[in-house]
Amino acid sequence: MRLFVALHLEPRVLAKVKETQEHLRSADTRDEVRWVGPHAFHLTLAFLGEVEEAPRLELEQALGVCLGSVPVPRLGLGDIGAFPSRGRPRVIWIGLHAAGRELDVLAQAVRAAVRGAGLDADDKRFKPHLTLGRVRAEGARLAEPLRAALSLPVSWASPPVPHPWVGLVRSHLSPGGSRYENLHEWRLQRSP
């Protein structure tokens, strides 16, 4: 099964992400982007790929142990960005910023649990973001309304909020996009 570990977002933050995505979507006059459904917003902490049942159970145990001592991260929204660049985007995202180091501690703990369960952990630099959409034509230059919308700063007036839920998530791939199934959830208890 295709798995990843994710931090689930709090409703206040999800509402602002949806609002931001709708603003961008309204600027997508040529339907150049396949927008992610709001049910799919999550912060990936570790992508695992295909995992068999026995290692998955071992991973659940390892995550349960390590997450008991990890503080709850407090997150707010950052600016809109794109991979590999805004000039020729492939993925459009919104960044997250953390109050303190709790998010980095959580990401490191999850990767250590993944390795402890005998699985490969992605060692790429952790850049907290939520994918909003994927550009349909690789290397295409977006129409001006959407390019302009990508340059606008996101207004996030409230302070970062706690995000205590971590999940082991299964991804079901289909031509219509991915569908996610929570296999196990943990609530982080420790305050920063």
Contact status, residue 7 vs residue 166, Cβ threshold 8 Å: yes
Q: Would you call 39 a catalytic residue per the annotation? A: no
Q: Which of 129, 163, 172, 184 is catalytic?
A: 129
DSSP letter (8 states) at residue 43: E
Structural domains of the chain sorted by starting position, each given as residue range(s) with its CATH number in brackets: 2-184 (3.90.1140.10)
Cβ neighbours for 108, distance < 8 A, ≥ 6 positions apart: none
DSSP for 63-114 reads HHHHHTTPBPPEEEEEEEEEES-SSS-SEEEEEEEESSSHHHHHHHHHHHHH
Q: Would you call 42 a catalytic residue per the annotation? A: yes
pLDDT, tens digit, for every residue of 64-80? 999 988 999 999 888 88
Q: Which of 8, 23, 39, 42 is catalytic?
A: 42
Is residue 161 within a helix (H) or strand (E), and if so which, with residue range?
A: strand 161-162
Alpha-carbon dihedral angle through residues 64, 127, 90, 121, given to the nearest 10 degrees: -40
What pLDDT is stored for residue 97 in this prediction?
85
pLDDT, tens digit, for every residue of 14-48? 998 999 999 999 999 999 999 998 888 999 999 99
